[in-house]
């Protein structure tokens, strides 16, 4: 409780769009949604966060400048504040995506992608969970280095800066934590 969890949203194979919304469900006892930060899929997208109902939030937006995007891309991220009711684990689920197409129409994709949020020791870089950032963690990190979202061996726990890739940005964060208990 008191920590912030950031959820990144990616898309593969989007049609030509000038906006979109993503509907997420969450446990209101454990999480409280914050603001949405637009990604790079649609340049110049004005991002919005809309609490749709208890336990449901919609994020997304539209381009007011008429810019478009398509294909594979980063839709953006939404921060969730972990609440006092969180204990051991909770969930987040993407349940719907609506694409605002350039032609004026829209397409709706009903889906259910569930992610589990679990409690950890809270020490960044302690991948083994033993309470210390040491060489065991370094060897695990080294095995994940230079992977990115979409790679079969990508593990987001090593992506310390939430960029979608395990790279030097993550290495510097890991190096800063090395030796901490």
Query: What pLDDT is recorded for position 34?
Result: 93
For residues 26 and 79, the answer to whether their CB atoms sit within 8 Å is no
Query: What pLDDT is recorded for position 121?
Result: 56
Q: Which of 83, 73, 88 is nearest to 12 (CA)?
A: 73
pLDDT class of 122 with cuts at 50, 70, 90: low
Q: Is the pTM of this model over 0.85?
A: no
Average pLDDT, the chain: 90
- Reduced to 3 states (helix: H, G, I; strand: E, B; else coil), residue 4 is strand
Query: What pLDDT is recorded for position 37?
Result: 93
Give the C-alpha separation, 162 to 167, whole Å. 11
Alpha-helical regions (H) of 9-159: 135-144
> Residue 115: is its pLDDT beyond 70?
yes
pLDDT class of 68 with cuts at 50, 70, 90: very high
Query: What pLDDT is recorded for position 117?
Result: 79
Q: Which of 23, 24, 109, 40 is nearest to 74 (CA)?
A: 40
| Structure token digits, residue 167 | 């790279």
> Residue 89: is its pLDDT beyond 80?
yes
Q: What are the pLDDT digits (tens) for 134-178?
A: 999 999 999 999 999 888 888 888 988 878 899 999 999 999 989
- 3-class SS string, 90-158: EEEEEEEEEEEECCCCEEEEEEEEEEEEECCCCCCCCCCCCCCCCHHHHHHHHHHCCCECCCCCCCHHH
User: Tokens 């006892």 — which residue?
Assistant: 29
> Residue 79: is its pLDDT beyond 80?
yes
For the segment 28-50, the average pLDDT, to the nearest whole number, is: 93
Higher pLDDT pick, 25 / 163: 25
The H-or-E segment that residue 174 falls in is helix 168-177
């Amino acid at each position: 409780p008191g920590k912030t969890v950031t959820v990144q949203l990616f898309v593969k194979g989007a049609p030509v769009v000038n906006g979109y919304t993503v509907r997420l469900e969450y446990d209101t006892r454990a999480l409280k949604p914050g603001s949405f930060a637009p990604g790079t899929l649609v340049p110049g997208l004005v991002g919005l966060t809309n609490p749709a109902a208890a336990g449901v939030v919609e994020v997304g937006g539209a381009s007011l400048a008429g810019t478009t995007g398509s294909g594979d891309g980063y839709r953006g991220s939404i921060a969730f504040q972990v609440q006092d009711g969180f204990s051991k684990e909770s969930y987040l689920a993407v349940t719907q995506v609506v694409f605002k197409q350039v032609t004026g129409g829209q397409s709706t994709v009903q889906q259910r992608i569930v992610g589990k949020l679990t409690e950890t020791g809270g020490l960044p870089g302690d991948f083994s969970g033993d309470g210390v950032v040491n060489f065991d963690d370094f060897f695990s990190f080294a095995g994940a280095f230079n992977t990115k979202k979409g790679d079969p061996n990508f593990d987001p726990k090593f992506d310390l800066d939430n960029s979608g890739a395990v790279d030097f940005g993550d290495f510097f964060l890991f190096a800063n934590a090395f030796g901490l208990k």
